[in-house]
Amino acid sequence: MDCTITGDKSKADLADLDPSKTYTIAVKTNKGSFTIELDQKVSPCTTASIAGLTKKGFFDGLTFHRIVPGFVIQGGDPAGNGSGGPGYQTLDKPPPDTRYVTGVVAMAKTQNDPAGTSGSQFFVVTGDDVGLPPDYAVLGKVVDGLDVVEKIDRLGDVSDPAGTPTKRVEIESMKLQTG
């Protein structure tokens, strides 16, 4: 796999994922667990990067720092405020027909980053169709524990556009699994 990597390339530790296998990431939080099935076909570099970070324990102890009810829950930032990342980025431009619907997991990026840019911050869509343009690399979808995602979604304050959580939601661990 030939991935475009920007930033500190020495920090990039992309997992070697077998395209014939299905991979999931079990996300254990202090509010319950959910499972993400990775979409290697749409985002091979993003999934390899997240799998590599997961294997290193990068996400363990981080929080969901942004919760906007009916829109997204966002985590994976080592700074805890939306400004951090792993020190590098990959690029997987999403298809033009990409829709961000309930349970889709995609990668957060700044407005200035090219479409499909991925670091470590990811979001889980909690609305039916949140109307985002196809700018965010798709990591996969929640295949188990959507009730936990919805529980976390309710810990946001609808009157707070910044999405500051009303309670701390910690990622206790993320584990890569092969199906």
Q: How far apart are the first and last CA of the chain?
A: 21
Check residue 151 and give its pLDDT. 98
Residues 6+ apart with CB under 8 A from 142: 34, 35, 36, 37, 103, 105, 124, 149
Check residue 1 and give its pLDDT. 73
The residue ranges of every structural domain in the chain are: 23-178
What is the average pLDDT value for the chain, to the nearest integer?
A: 96
In DSSP notation, 21-34 reads S-EEEEEEEBTEEE
Check residue 161 and give its pLDDT. 85
Percent of the chain scoring above 90 in pLDDT: 96
Residues 6+ apart with CB under 8 A from 128: 101, 102
Mean pLDDT, range 56-67, rounded to an integer = 98
Q: What is the pLDDT of residues 162-174, one digit of tens each?
A: 999 999 999 999 9
Residues 6+ apart with CB under 8 A from 132: 100
CA torsion sign, 67 to 71 to 72 to 73?
positive
Which strand ranges, in their side-by-side order, compose the sheet holding 5-7?
5-7, 88-91, 117-118
* CATH of region 23-178, choose from 3.50.50.60, 2.40.100.10, 3.30.360.10, 3.20.20.70: 2.40.100.10
Mean pLDDT, range 96-111, rounded to an integer = 97
Band (2; pLDDT cuts 50, 70, 90):
confident
Q: How far is residue 154's CA from residue 160's CA, in Å, rounded to a whole number?
A: 13
Mean pLDDT, range 74-98, rounded to an integer = 96
